[in-house]
Structure 1
Amino acid sequence: MTSNSNPRFDELRWVIEIRRTLDEELEEDSEVPVNIYNVPKTLMAAKPDCYVPQEVALGPYHHWQPELYEMERYKLAAAKRTQKHLQRVKFESLVDQLNKHEPRIRACYHKFLQFNGDTLAWMMAIDASFLLEFLQVYSIKAGWLLTRVSSRMSHLVDYAGTKSAHNAILRDMVMVENQIPLFVLRKVLEFQFPTLDQADDMLRSMLAGFGEDLCPFRMKEDLTQVHVEEQAHLLDFLYHIIVPRSKEPSEIIEVENEDESKEGKEGSFGDSSYVQQLFQIIWNLLSTSNQGPISLLKRLLSSDPVKVILKLPWKIIFNLPGFSILKRPVEYIFFSQKKEESNPENGNSNSNSNIIKPPLIEEIAIPSVSKLYKSGVRFLPANGSISSITFDAKMATLYLPTVSLDVNTEVTLRNLVAYEASNASGPLVMTRYTELMNGIIDTEEDAKILRERGIILNRLKSDEEVANLWNGMSKSIRLTKVPFLDKVIEDVNNYHTGIWKVKAGKFMKRYVIGSWQLLTFVATVLIFLLMTLQAFCSVYNCPRMFRVTTDL
């Protein structure tokens, strides 16, 4: 029987772990910050497959998932090969050493780990052995493999024998919830090399090859010079070679969930109540005057024919071809103001008007690539990563970093954004970059233009897949101000709105097309008066009243 089948045993073990954890003291809490998180629910709900490992579990969060058990035998095989190359010690000695660092390991994880110390230490040792053996292929690719371990790589393990399996494991390795502290990897390598410096050289070479292969941007830095002791885990390393560490505090704005619009479901002008409101508005306007013509109209509105008009099936009438065009203008003119006054959330008061809510990621206001291209904006690849994004207004040129898109890119980008949002140790640069790309790429035509300019290196099947990739990344839990990217967005918008073609289009929309509302309103009033006159004449015999001869 396992402990999982005995709830009482689990409770006792939990109490023991809590007591032992409280008795243990770290040197300084600040030295071991939390850096391995759970993916925020809003992101997980968007596309779970991008955040939940599909092949291999690394670390405690997904260790007991039955669908990942198949990889356990490959982990054990890697641990056996690691045992052969330990420096005159047994594998159990490595586990004992990791057991001494149990408080530090637990401190890295945001979620409470319901494992005892021995279980956690064995898990870390086996998973680290598997991960290091997998990463050695990058050290070979980069040409930096130390002579001491060159003979070991003659073993091409079958789990990475195909490109698809290799990519599947790669995607699992960069997931937020599938990380192992990097100091654990250093500790395992330290048992295999005479000195810590040699172990760091080996780990540095692995990380450099891993970063060059998986990073979607072209890197100018020499990754072999990275300080491995400053990296928390693989995803943290990948994030900081793309977004350099910032010492400035982040100005984060929480995004509130807003209810979906109910327009069209209620308050339609087709309802008879709205027709009655229309007559009520006209009556209120006329009631302020007692002049002759006005008095006549007041009597007209209170007459029996008008009451008949109010009972007509207006919902059906306004859906007819000739009347449907009149529905929106009349509804907008007569009732939009009333709706705004009755809805306090619209910010009618001065106090509410000063409250600026952060826009949702879908609401980032920037023209698409095709619109910018038609207005004369050029697109050129920038030398560098995200920090190299600029807009030259004089040359009308937008510089964007070259991004390589393949089967691993979406998972990599999504987990970088999730890690950034969870960590929140600086400005959310990756989030803002994905918002920018989401804003300027709407269709495959936009993706095609960027591909032809060398900004997108498309290793997917089509430009449509590229557009779907960026448009699919539309979920964010918070927004932040990133000054250099916000400045680019502002400059692009200012340039685009300053083009005479755009100005002419806005002029037409505001003063020509916009005047159509006034024309339709006039037509509506005329039709209404004619219908009223017709109903009036059918009752009171207008020809005889006005002495009009109908004979030809």
Structure 2
Amino acid sequence: MASHFDEVRWVINIRRSLAEEVDEESEVPVSIFNVPKALMSTDPESYVPQSVALGPYHYCRPELHEMETYKLAAAKRAQKHLHRVQFHTLVENLTRFEPQIRACYHKYLHFNGETFAWMMAIDASFLLEFLQNYGLRQGKSAHNYSVLRDVVMLENQIPLFVLRKVLEIQCSSLESADELLVSMLNGLSRELSPFRTMDHSVEIDVSKCAHVLDFLHNTIVPKLDEEEEEEECETSEPGDQGDGHGQSQVPKRLSELWNLLSRIIKALLMSRLVRVLLKFPWKIVSNLPGLIILKQLIKHVFFSQDNAEQKGKPEHDSSQNKNKPPLAEEIAIPSVEDLSKSGVRFIPTNGNISTITFDTNTVTLHLPTVTLDINTKVVLRNLVAYEASNASGRPLVFTRYTELMNGIIDTEQDVRLLSQSGIILNHLKSDAEAAELWNGMSKSIRLTKVPLLDTVIEDVNKYYNCRWNVKARKFFRQHVYGSWQFLTLLAATLLLFLLTFQAFCSVYSCSRVSQNQSLGD
């Protein structure tokens, strides 16, 4: 139950908020959200800070009060760099931006203006000192690692323009403040980014970044417009991704020969003579227990590919379905082990998600090198949570990448194969722990369509499903292994028939009757 004092303070804050003039041009979008419950329930420790609270969401948690002493010490040290400006002057400057700071938070904040400004000033001083010590000097310790996890959590963010305001006073100019802040954030990104081998020299406008997690997201996730994604889908047709060598054309030629042979046999089977023969007696015979499996095998081998082609043809309403999110089953993709057995090679790339491609000529899946360490799970999960909360209708690119990795990694053997290929740099305790990390990633809270990655998934599935050994394995799994009860009944019936025939012969002397019949002839 809220106290009377809290109710009065709430009314005062509401009146003041309504009395403020609204400037549409300077309106600040919400960027700091509560983690969606669907994600929070899967692994709360990856979203709830364990060492330090930054910002208002976890400020009142008693188990985090121990770090308040360190934050006050950081504020005292920051005061020495304010160029004869008192710390309370910094607080007063931040008070002028209180509406913009509050607007960044999705949750309603019950703090009054003075408390909120002091909180921002102290937390910003602590975060800047941590970024300077860790991002520039790379000061690594067990304590810093625990704080590092909390710094990237979605609910533990403070607006980046607050850091810019503090640095502006320390550096005497906004340009020098931005340069220092970018260098610190780049150092932090090099430590936190799972794509360690990518080029971090890409310039990012820090004035357009909402917070630390948003800056990290901008360094990892490529900026792909919808038009560029559609062009990539159109230009990534099989056979257009390189000329290839003579040896790389062999699987393609064999596939074309197999398709031609399948069509010839189908034409023979569908001829008029065969249709007449199949009309009456074979319709009954083909459904007999012994021949139904053969019929299913012929249908699976010769007609499954044509059915797939018919499904792949654009329909009249394809333009309407173009931007619809994919169905849940469309994310299904074979594991690394299965793809490797079918001839797919895995090649690492030095880049981000935009480097993911599947070359149908060389049967090669290109994936960016990803490093797994003790903080990777927290980084991945909070990036997914930030995308899900801040999507605004945009495709969840990073979320789709995690779903792709979750799809191809099922067991520790899959991780071992990717490690041998140089795609995974595993610094965890075991391959099993790495597999559990990817398999534990929750699916997106809403379905999304990312043409860049969906095209790769579609091409991989198309290649894999057209392999004859894959077709045979699927057939036996569905129609043979799945019908073991029927096969057992058939064997028992056959055995009973043989025993009955043996008993009949023992009674009526089948061999003597057969001998007398031959003598009579």
- Does the TM-score normalized on the shorter chain lie above 0.5? yes
Distance 1:117 1:228 in 2: 26
User: Pick from 379, 397, 402: which aligns with 2:364?
Assistant: 397
User: Pick from 186, 189, 204: which aligns with 2:182?
Assistant: 204
CA shift, 1:526, in A, is 11
Cross-structure match for 2:355: 388
Deviates more, 1:240-249 or 1:48-57: 240-249
TM value normalised by structure 2? 0.73
CA shift, 1:250, in A, is 13
Cross-structure match for 2:380: 413
Distance 2:480 2:37 in 1: 47
Contact kept in structure 2, 1:205 and 1:224, CA below 8 Å: no
CA shift, 1:20, in A, is 0.2
Cross-structure match for 2:98: 102
Contact kept in structure 2, 1:402 and 1:454, CA below 8 Å: yes
Cross-structure match for 2:41: 45
User: Which residues in structure 2 correspond to 1:4-15 (within 5 Å)?
Assistant: 7-15=3-11
CA shift, 1:16, in A, is 0.1
Unaligned ranges ≥5, structure 2: 230-320, 496-521
User: Pick from 12, 29, 32: which aligns with 2:28?
Assistant: 32
Cross-structure match for 1:373: 340
CA shift, 1:508, in A, is 3.0
Distance 1:32 1:404 in 2: 35
In structure 2, relative to structure 1, the CA distance for the partners of 1:376 and 1:45 (3 Å cut) is same
In structure 2, relative to structure 1, the CA distance for the partners of 1:249 and 1:464 (3 Å cut) is same
Give the secondary-structure state (helix, strand or coil) at the position aligned to 1:191. Answer: helix
Deviates more, 1:6-15 or 1:512-521: 512-521
In structure 2, relative to structure 1, the CA distance for the partners of 1:250 and 1:126 (3 Å cut) is farther
CA shift, 1:407, in A, is 0.3
User: Pick from 399, 409, 412: which aligns with 1:441?
Assistant: 409
User: Which residues in structure 2 correspond to 1:219-298 (within 5 Å)?
Assistant: 220-223=198-201, 225-248=203-226
Cross-structure match for 2:262: none
- 2:401 aligned with 1:424: no
Contact kept in structure 1, 2:190 and 2:200, CA below 8 Å: no
User: Pick from 410, 418, 433: which aligns with 1:465?
Assistant: 433
Distance 1:69 1:250 in 2: 48
Contact kept in structure 2, 1:208 and 1:224, CA below 8 Å: no
Unaligned ranges ≥5, structure 1: 143-159, 252-354, 528-552
Give the secondary-structure state (helix, strand or coil) at the position aligned to 2:116. Answer: helix
In structure 2, relative to structure 1, the CA distance for the partners of 1:245 and 1:26 (3 Å cut) is farther
Give the secondary-structure state (helix, strand or coil) at the position aligned to 1:398. Answer: strand
Give the secondary-structure state (helix, strand or coil) at the position aligned to 1:55. Answer: coil
String of CA shifts for 1:242-287, please: whole Å, max 9, x gaps.
1133454999xxxxxxxxxxxxxxxxxxxxxxxxxxxxxxxxxxxx
String of CA shifts for 1:80-121, please: whole Å, max 9, x gaps.
001111022100000000000000001000001101111110
User: Which residues in structure 2 correspond to 1:25-104 (within 5 Å)?
Assistant: 25-28=21-24, 31-104=27-100
Identical pairs, percent: 63
In structure 2, relative to structure 1, the CA distance for the partners of 1:184 and 1:163 (3 Å cut) is same
Contact kept in structure 2, 1:204 and 1:224, CA below 8 Å: no
Give the secondary-structure state (helix, strand or coil) at the position aligned to 1:478. Answer: coil
Between Structure 1 and Structure 2, how many residues are aligned?
A: 404
String of CA shifts for 1:27-70, please: whole Å, max 9, x gaps.
22674100000000010000000000000000000001000000
Cross-structure match for 1:174: 152
In structure 2, relative to structure 1, the CA distance for the partners of 1:482 and 1:357 (3 Å cut) is closer
> Match for 2:417: what amino acid?
I
Contact kept in structure 1, 2:27 and 2:100, CA below 8 Å: no
Distance 1:519 1:208 in 2: 64
CA shift, 1:510, in A, is 4.8
Give the secondary-structure state (helix, strand or coil) at the position aligned to 2:371. Answer: strand
> Match for 1:471: what amino acid?
N
String of CA shifts for 1:497-517, please: whole Å, max 9, x gaps.
112211222333455446656
Cross-structure match for 1:333: none
Distance 2:117 2:397 in 1: 35
User: Which residues in structure 2 correspond to 1:306-321 (within 5 Å)?
Assistant: none
In structure 2, relative to structure 1, the CA distance for the partners of 1:507 and 1:245 (3 Å cut) is closer
CA shift, 1:449, in A, is 0.4
In structure 2, relative to structure 1, the CA distance for the partners of 1:60 and 1:243 (3 Å cut) is same
User: Pick from 185, 191, 210: which aligns with 2:163?
Assistant: 185
Give the secondary-structure state (helix, strand or coil) at the position aligned to 1:399. Answer: strand
